[in-house]
Structure 1
């Protein structure tokens, strides 16, 4: 039985657990578990209160259950597992209980509040909250419209929401993650930030998806740029590990003028400049940047809306069975003079119906959905670890051919500022809980099997 029930406490025998008769007909349950904590118990079935599990106050304290709430119990072998207990691992904590994770507090609160009716035990934690000796974590719960600190066991599954690559690569962060994964066998999703070049290498030989890839080369020297410019109208130069459109530049060579035009963003301002040579351009635009970690990519002439280029953010998420779904497709219209469609560069978010007529909107939607699902499935097989969500930046050219520009393992939430996408946002949060629960069950069952 996997229905959600409420957990309450009683003051009777310290190891007594009372469960609905509908939950189990077996008398072989000897243990009760919450997160990574597990204790012997005496199980009693009742034919009343079908949606309640009652445990002693002592067991509640020993298991570090922070409050009475909704859980989804599963029986594995001789153990009644309460949960799941889902930890969201991040960094950037403050001293304030009003905004414990700074500007991201609202995003996390929104995610947790959406799922509280189904599962109350979702918390946020950082490296500083872990007590290895007691195997507990001081985490932050969002309940009844406020943040509270509670001590809980190590979780059954961890959602990786570290905010940037620098923090993710910190040696202490990596040490913590490795210990929780290897010593405690706790599954993590999602993996680390994707590297653009690594993804290109993994996808370019896959028959089902390679046609979505623009020609891409690792930067070696100016000849790399010249070669692609000789074959294409313009090229993009992007950092392998960049995000939010940071340091993306566009170079176009005008043969009649023998001039290189460069569009880029500097000090918050979109710029378009021309240069007499590629060498002068690189020395000026990249004067403070080393190019050995950049890629050079074929430019794509995108479809336009109100004379501005448009690309698309497509989110895919896994459900309770680990199956991929397209959860949202948003059109992003570039800001005037911008090299990208990101909102921080002046971009706007639209629905497909706002920029296309009905037939074309459906046609583009179907093509984008097919591409996103195919690429999600390939990456799922190619990459290590558990992937529960991907945010794609896809382009469509004038021939309605779909192109992959970027895949994000931790997609941002900026498109949801458009009220048209609120329902999609709810679906994503629902699937987040479904997939976390799915991983939690898989992990718990595998531990029993191993033993």
Structure 2
């Protein structure tokens, strides 16, 4: 690294040389190198704030090698939030408050906080399902009003902990995925039994409750649409790509980590909807993906990319299911869209270069 060379630090929860997304970070390194940017990976817990250095890893000569690096000019935050994030949060906060460091974007917090921000937008509110923090009273009201409900962890990922609850003549039908993302189903006979299940399943964590929406194809296959939007090299938002994620028919979610697969959007919609309905759905998705990022950035603070999960019910209505500020890119490899996949990898580096030029 030369004295004048700018650096991009990928901040992640790595324990020594063991960290996730190595293949992705390798590609970021190679793209950065072509742009004259030094890229390395580090854990926020390895920062020495006195010497303004950090122990990390760089991809060099075909392998990941450890080293001590000056604190980066720009940080790409890939620290996924989870139960152990509290051990990292103080160090992340200190880096965020450092006037000499620029973050590509600041990660969104839980689903409830995102819901609260989006629901204040008149343009976006129509796409947001009714949502409450889970209590027995809120669950009861959802079941009475809508006939079925879904509960999900406020800070969960990959579809783990998402459960559908349907009242039946014999009690309550429970179908979903447990904490390990394994599918399960059971019948609960009484309201007291349901209350006990909720207490045990949530175990003190914050959950949300929403109406159950029929987000599945006519043959019963659950699906959603992943839309990736990113800042480009001009600092403006751009739709990088769109794909349909199909779940197992035994599941209520379509997340790839739950055994799902991906297909291109256009052909899938054409297979299941009339042409005029398909056109309306695609227009709505594009409008949503254009309006949501700048609004969310205005109320939350700088963002670099968003994975917007869009649900489409059997009537063709479009819903915002989830917004993720640390999205994956696997879906574009699965649908064989190399252009979208390359853009998805290159855009963070291009946006970093844009910020470096404007420093």
Assess same fold via TM > 0.5: yes
Any residues of structure 2 matched to 1:200-211 within 5 Å, and which?
200-211=115-126
User: Following superposition of structure 1 onto structure 2, how do residues 14-163 of structure 1 map, counting pairs within 5 Å?
Assistant: 60=2, 63=3, 82-94=4-16, 100-127=17-44, 129-163=46-80
Distance across 2 between alignment mates of 1:103 and 1:174? 19
Where does residue 231 of structure 2 map in the other structure? Answer: 318
Deviation, structure 1 residue 208: 1.0
SS in 2 for 1:85: strand
CA distance in 1, matches of 2:263, 2:202: 34
Contact kept, 8 Å, 1:311 with 1:341, in 2: the verdict is: yes
Q: How many residues align?
A: 354
Work out whether residues 281 and 317 of structure 2, in 8 Å CA contact, stay in contact via their aligned partners in 1.
no
Query: Considering only CA atoms, is the larger Rg found in Structure 1 or Structure 2?
Result: 1
Q: Which has the higher contact order (CA 8 A, sep 6+)?
A: 2
Correspondence for 1:45: none
Which consecutive residues of structure 2, in runs of 5 or more, have no partner in the other structure? none
Give the C-alpha shift of residue 306 in structure 1: 4.2
Distance 2:167 2:66 in 1: 58
Task: Supply the distance in 1 between the matched residues of 2:355 and 2:85 (Cα, whole angstroms).
Answer: 22
C-alpha deviation, 1:388, in angstroms: 0.3
Q: Confirm whether residue 194 of structure 1 aligns to residue 109 of structure 2.
A: yes
State the shift of 1:285 in Å: 5.7
Where 1:349 maps in the other structure, the secondary structure is strand
Judging changes above 3 Å, is the alpha-carbon distance between structure 1 residues 269 and 123 closer, same or farther for their aligned structure 2 residues? closer
TM normalised by structure 1 equals: 0.72
TM (normalized to structure 2)? 0.89
Q: Could you tell which deviates more after superposition, 353-362 or 258-267?
A: 353-362
**What is the CA–CA distance in structure 1 between the aligned matches of 2:347 and 2:174, rounded to whole Å?**
42
What's the secondary structure of 1:420's corresponding residue?
Answer: coil
Alignment RMSD:
2.5
- Does 2:149 align with 1:235? yes
Q: Distance in 2 between matches of 1:269 and 1:174?
A: 29
Q: Structure 1 residue aligned with 2:289, among 372, 383, 408?
A: 372
Partner of 1:261: 173
Partners of 2:327 and 2:339 in 1: how far apart? 17
Tell me if structure 2 keeps the 8 A contact 1:141–1:147.
Answer: yes
337-346 or 238-247, larger mean C-alpha shift: 337-346
Contact 1:85 1:155 in 2 (8 A): yes
Equivalent residue, structure 1, for 2:217: 304
Q: Is the 8 A contact 2:42 2:56 kept in 1?
A: yes
The answer on 1:216 being equivalent to 2:131 is: yes
Relative to 1, partners in 2 of residues 1:279 and 1:189: Cα closer, same or farther, differing over 3 Å? farther
CA contact (8 A) 1:327 1:427 kept: yes
Secondary structure of the corresponding residue to residue 307 of structure 2: strand
The alpha-carbon deviation at position 426 of structure 1 amounts to 0.7
Partner of 1:76: none
Q: Is the 8 A contact 1:332 1:349 kept in 2?
A: yes
Summarize deviations over 1:42-87 as a string: whole Å, max 9, x none: xxxxxxxxxxxxxxxxxx5xx3xxxxxxxxxxxxxxxxxx443111
The equivalences for 1:336-347 within 5 A come to 336-347=249-260
1:109-135 deviation line (CA, Å, top 9, x unaligned): 133234432234111112354343432
Distance 1:355 1:183 in 2: 47
